[in-house]
């Protein structure tokens, strides 16, 4: 009824690599069973589609599911696909394209998918019980450590640097005014007060990380300190602030140079739309494409307006993503498969998944045409039914297994009472004898 091909373990010299569960690939053969048209599209690792001339074959978990359905429900199937190979989205005239378009036009009995279940898609097809849920995130090239020419500015924010510069200018102006006022008060000569104040401010700033000198007691320092007390109080105040500033700067800079950090530029949708270095793409005809296309809020709307194109799926575009051509939004299951391929082929990790999910808990299911008689039958198969569906309907009489605990407690109590009676009887017999 079905032809099955199995992959043999790879041989490397005399050593056999670890055996993996064989993948089965299914194709239709002639039979007298009802023949159904089933639409398929590739979504690794769920479905791997291979086309040889005009015939299609599939492998993966969804291929196994289709084999179970065909065996249990007694039908044969012919695999078909669409030229665009997309899942499907509504066109401007209300009709759907892709696999969902085939279901809407009832050109196929079912589509393997699996599809992300949405309310809009439920208008053109009937979904089976969801058998899995996926989380969507951003897949991109793995960030690496990069040298920064302006790294010496990183210990402080730009606001701190700006306030420090403003403070220095303000302190120089105030010291120049104070020096001029003190010269007039003490009838001393004062020339170039602004230049001297600038030297005092810069010298104090430079000395903030060295010797802290108050009131000019140090002979080497007294040459550049103001000659009177008011000016020296200002220099001392600025010297104290400089000490804190320079100590913090040198400590943070040393720590940053000792422990290199890798900056993650994109870890959320907000990070994605805020940068211009890495373009991004969406999977054509996917649920996420439709989700962002219909979004009205700022960030999600910017995601759709800023896309540089579409891709068939993240696994098909894994090489471009790994080399930094663009980032993509897709499910974490496919991301892990792409990362496994990357490490298996290169021995290194070139891909990175964002920490923040773009969309969480998307239920996925197989799709049938509306009012298909096979959908209800498929839902009764154990592998598609949720665990809650295994409960019996209505109120059933309790059997011995349900009350086994109560009977065991009763038996234990009787045994304990019998033992206590025997002990009492033996004690009474000993006393009487």
Give the CA diameter of the chain.
Answer: 129
* Distances from the Cα of 335 to the Cα of 316, 328, 332, angstroms: 11, 10, 5
114 marked ligand binding residue = yes
Cα–Cα distance, 81 to 163 (Å, whole number): 64
Cα–Cα distance, 97 to 280 (Å, whole number): 23
* Distances from the Cα of 289 to the Cα of 130, 218, 420, angstroms: 21, 72, 76
Torsion angle of C-alpha atoms 114, 118, 123, 129, degrees rounded to 10: 50
CB-hemisphere CA count at 13 Å for 111?
35
Per DSSP, the three-state class of 392 is: coil
Cα–Cα distance, 121 to 126 (Å, whole number): 9
355 marked ligand binding residue = no
Q: What is the DSSP letter of 8?
A: P
Burial of 109 (0-12, 13-18, 19+ CB in 10 A): buried
Annotated binding site: 114, 121
Annotated binding site for L-glutamate: 114, 121
């Amino acid at each position: 009824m079905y032809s099955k091909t199995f992959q043999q373990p790879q041989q490397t010299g005399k050593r056999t690599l670890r055996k993996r569960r064989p993948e089965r690939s299914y194709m239709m053969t002639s039979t007298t069973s009802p023949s159904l048209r089933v639409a398929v599209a590739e979504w690794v690792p769920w479905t791997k589609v291979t086309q040889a001339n005009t015939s299609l074959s599939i492998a993966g978990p969804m291929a196994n599911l289709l084999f179970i359905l065909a065996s249990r429900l007694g039908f044969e199937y012919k695999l078909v696909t669409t030229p665009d190979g997309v899942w499907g989205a509504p066109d401007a005239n209300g009709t759907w394209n892709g696999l969902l378009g085939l279901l809407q036009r009832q050109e196929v009995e079912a589509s393997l998918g699996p599809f992300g279940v949405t309310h809009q898609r439920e208008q053109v097809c009937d979904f089976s019980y969801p058998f899995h849920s996926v989380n969507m995130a951003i897949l991109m090239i793995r960030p690496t450590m990069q040298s920064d020419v302006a790294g010496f500015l990183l210990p402080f924010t730009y606001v701190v640097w700006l306030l420090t510069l403003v403070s220095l200018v303000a302190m120089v102006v105030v010291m120049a005014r104070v020096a001029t006022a003190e010269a007039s008060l003490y009838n001393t000569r004062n020339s170039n007060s602004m230049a001297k104040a600038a030297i005092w401010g810069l010298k104090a700033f430079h000395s903030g990380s060295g010797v802290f000198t108050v009131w000019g007691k140090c002979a080497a320092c007294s040459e550049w300190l103001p000659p009177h007390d008011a000016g020296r109080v200002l220099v001392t105040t600025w010297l104290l602030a400089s000490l804190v500033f320079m100590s913090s700067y040198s400590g943070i800079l040393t720590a940053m140079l000792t422990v290199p950090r890798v900056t993650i530029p994109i870890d959320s949708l907000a990070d994605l739309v805020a940068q211009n270095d890495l373009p991004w793409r969406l999977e054509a005809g996917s649920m996420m494409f439709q989700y962002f296309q219909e979004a009205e809020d700022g960030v999600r709307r910017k995601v759709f307006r800023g896309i540089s194109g579409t891709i068939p799926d993240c696994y098909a575009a894994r090489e471009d993503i790994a080399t930094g051509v663009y980032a993509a939004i897709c499910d974490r299951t496919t991301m892990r498969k792409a990362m496994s391929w990357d490490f298996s082929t290169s021995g290194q990790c070139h891909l990175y998944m964002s920490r923040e999910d773009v969309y969480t808990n998307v239920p996925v299911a197989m799709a049938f045409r509306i009012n298909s008689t096979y959908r209800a039958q498929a839902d009764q198969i154990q592998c598609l039914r949720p665990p809650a569906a295994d409960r019996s309907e209505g109120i059933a009489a309790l059997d011995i297994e349900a009350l086994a605990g109560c009977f065991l407690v009763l038996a234990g109590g009787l045994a304990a009472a019998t033992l206590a009676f025997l002990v009492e009887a033996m004690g009474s017999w000993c006393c009487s004898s």
